[in-house]
């Protein structure tokens, strides 16, 4: 039987946005649970602050899933920011860039519980000042597909070319903030080169946009999921 799967939503997204993806994976034989976040759960993280509240909810969910399924490991899917937050969760180094409070956990060393980390449209790099503190910690501490005992699968979408013209301006601006240049391909929010990691299994999917609210196909669309789902096997 495949390992159970946990989905960590993207920034400012709630679990409700991933219900169809959860259902599709479960019906395909991959039992799936979503970290039960509401949009308001992200409020304490605004302005580049600590992702500790999200990491704590992720850990609670993973612990419960391991117990409920009596499983030795899980597969972890992180959409958008959920991908790089998951990279923090895997590691053994203290996540202390925002300071440390007594009686709270700042390292989880969760890689022994995670078989595959699949990131969907994750901006693994950023030039935006609000996210640099967190992402610099991730990329300096755990560069690339850092742990050899974790299978990293990084999925990018190729749907919109960033240009300074109507219809492509948002993509251009987002790509520029993420990878330093706007004239490139991506999913409308995350450029391809930022969605991939050195040493990972890197996939690029045609006509796939960033989120379920982007319009058209996204990573969790019925037609798209089979293109990366096999890595959960």
**What CATH number should be reported for the domain holding residue 202?**
3.40.50.1820
Q: Output the pLDDT for position 47.
A: 93
Q: Output the pLDDT for position 1.
A: 78
User: How many structural domains are present in the chain?
Assistant: 1
**What's the pLDDT band for 4 if we cut at 50, 70, 90?**
very high
Render pLDDT for 38-97 as a digit per residue (tens, 0 to 9): 999 999 999 999 999 999 999 999 999 999 999 999 999 999 999 999 999 999 999 999
Q: Which of 82, 68, 96, 100 is nearest to 37 (CA)?
A: 82
The two most distant CA atoms of the chain are separated, in Å, by 53
Asked if residue 182 belongs to a domain, the reply is no
Whether the per-residue pLDDT at 118 is higher than 80: the answer is: yes
Is the entire prediction scored with pTM above 0.85? yes
Q: Which of 186, 201, 220, 187 is nearest to 13 (CA)?
A: 220
Cβ-contact 153, 228 below 8 angstroms: yes
Two structure tokens written together for 15 = 């679990």
Asked if residue 171 belongs to a domain, the reply is no
Two structure tokens written together for 228 = 């990366």
Give me the residues paired with residue 154 across strands. Answer: 119, 202
Asked if residue 175 belongs to a domain, the reply is no
Its domain, for residue 222, covers 5-156+194-232
**What's the pLDDT band for 160 if we cut at 50, 70, 90?**
very high
Q: Output the pLDDT for position 70.
A: 97
Render pLDDT for 172-219 as a digit per residue (tens, 0 to 9): 999 999 999 999 999 999 999 999 999 999 999 999 999 998 889 999
Asked if residue 172 belongs to a domain, the reply is no
Asked if residue 222 belongs to a domain, the reply is yes
Two structure tokens written together for 113 = 């519980």
Asked if residue 181 belongs to a domain, the reply is no
Asked if residue 110 belongs to a domain, the reply is yes
Collapsing DSSP to helix, strand or coil, 16 comes out as helix
Whether the per-residue pLDDT at 167 is higher than 80: the answer is: no
Asked if residue 165 belongs to a domain, the reply is no
CA distances from 41 to 38, 51, 56 (A): 5, 11, 11
């Amino acid at each position: 039987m495949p390992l159970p799967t946990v989905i960590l939503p993207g920034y400012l997204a709630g679990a409700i946005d991933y219900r169809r993806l959860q259902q599709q994976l479960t019906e395909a034989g991959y039992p799936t649970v979503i970290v039960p976040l509401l949009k308001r759960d992200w409020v304490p993280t605004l302005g580049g602050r600590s992702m500790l509240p999200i990491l704590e909810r992720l850990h609670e969910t993973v612990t419960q899933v391991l117990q409920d399924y009596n499983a030795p490991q899980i597969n972890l899917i992180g959409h958008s920011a959920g991908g790089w937050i998951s990279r923090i969760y895997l590691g053994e180094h203290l996540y202390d860039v925002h300071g440390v409070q007594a009686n709270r956990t700042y390292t989880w060393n969760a890689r022994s519980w995670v078989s595959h980390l699949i990131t969907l449209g994750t901006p693994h790099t950023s030039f935006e000042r609000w996210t640099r503190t967190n992402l610099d910690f991730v990329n300096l501490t755990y560069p690339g597909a850092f742990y050899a005992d974790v299978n990293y699968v990084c999925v990018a979408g190729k749907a919109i070319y960033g240009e300074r013209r109507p219809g492509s301006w948002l993509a251009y601006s987002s790509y520029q903030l993420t990878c330093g240049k706007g004239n490139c391909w991506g999913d409308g929010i995350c450029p391809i080169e930022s969605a991939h990691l050195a040493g990972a299994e890197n996939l690029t999917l045609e006509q796939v946009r960033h989120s379920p609210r982007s319009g058209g196909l996204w990573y969790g669309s019925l037609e798209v999921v089979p293109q990366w789902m096999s890595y959960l096997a």
